[in-house]
Amino acid sequence: MKMSPWTRLKLRALVLADRIGTFRRDVRALAATEFALILPAMIMLYIGGVEVTRAMTANRKVAHLTSTLGDLATQTREISNTEMANIFEAAQAIMVPYPTGEELTLLLTFLRLDSNSVARVVWSDAVNRQPLPVNSIVSVPTAVQQPNTFLVLSEVTYEYKPILTYFFTGPFQLEDDRYLRPRLSETIGRH
């Protein structure tokens, strides 16, 4: 039986419409396609979230380390070289599991404020940096300026290095400082 061209065209249009309808109803690969499109963004969000969390934890550890460093020094009347080494070692343990090599600098300084509230260095010790020179003037916040008193200044800086520098600009500094008063006596000797 011979079909007219018009009938053949209608039949082909029906077959094509049926195939298009089948294709539109078939959703088996739709989820995989959507997942493939969203996956890179999800990975970036995950890595960014992990990195931000690590940086915030390191910043918190720096603040805790600064407080502990000053607190350990204020709980004594005199500090020997061995005791100072122990204070620095105990304070550095707070940064675990973050590296504490050259990335970490510690400064512990004992200050005397004169009658005009000018703070001068009595003694200073440091790790991975130079201590402050004796009798040098240090600027202190007005909130802790009390004439004829003493202060312990603890300063910590940490160079935080992101895990994946491809996504971030590179290392950046985390810093903190604390001013504490001696607890057991008016002064803290250093020998």
Domain locations along the chain: 31-190
**CA distances (Å), 91 to each of 20, 70, 181, in order?**
70, 9, 18
**CA distances (Å), 128 to each of 63, 113, 152, in order?**
18, 27, 19
Q: What is the pTM of this model?
A: 0.77
**pLDDT digits 0-9 by tens, 39-64:** 999 988 888 888 889 999 999 999 99
**pLDDT digits 0-9 by tens, 62-116:** 999 999 999 999 999 999 999 999 999 998 899 999 988 899 999 999 999 999 9
Cβ distance 144 to 151 under 8 Å?
yes
**pLDDT digits 0-9 by tens, 163-185:** 876 666 778 899 999 999 999 88
- Assigned token pair, 30: 């739709």
pLDDT of residue 6: 82
pLDDT of residue 27: 66
Q: Is a pLDDT exceeding 90 seen at residue 4?
A: no
